[in-house]
Amino acid sequence: ASTDQTNIDLFLPFFLGMSIAMFFTVLSIIIVTCQVAWPTILIIAPLAWMNFWYR
């Protein structure tokens, strides 16, 4: 096995785990923000729709 393959075998699970952790962190921040300051959903929902529509 080459060192490139070893690097991928070591770093890919790390980066995947970090990406999943960041996704859940952002999701939980949005959920808590919407529970505490629920009018923000009136801003977040159209922005998410526009982001999806423009892509």
| pLDDT tier, 17 (very low <50, low <70, confident <90, very high otherwise) | very high
Number of folded domains in the chain?
1
For the stretch 19-53, pLDDT in tens is 999 999 999 998 998 889 888 888 888 999 999 99
Determine contact, residues 40/34, Cβ cutoff 8 Å. yes
Determine contact, residues 32/40, Cβ cutoff 8 Å. no
Owning domain of residue 45: 3-54
pLDDT at site 42:
87
pLDDT at site 2:
82
Answer whether 0.85 is exceeded by the pTM: no
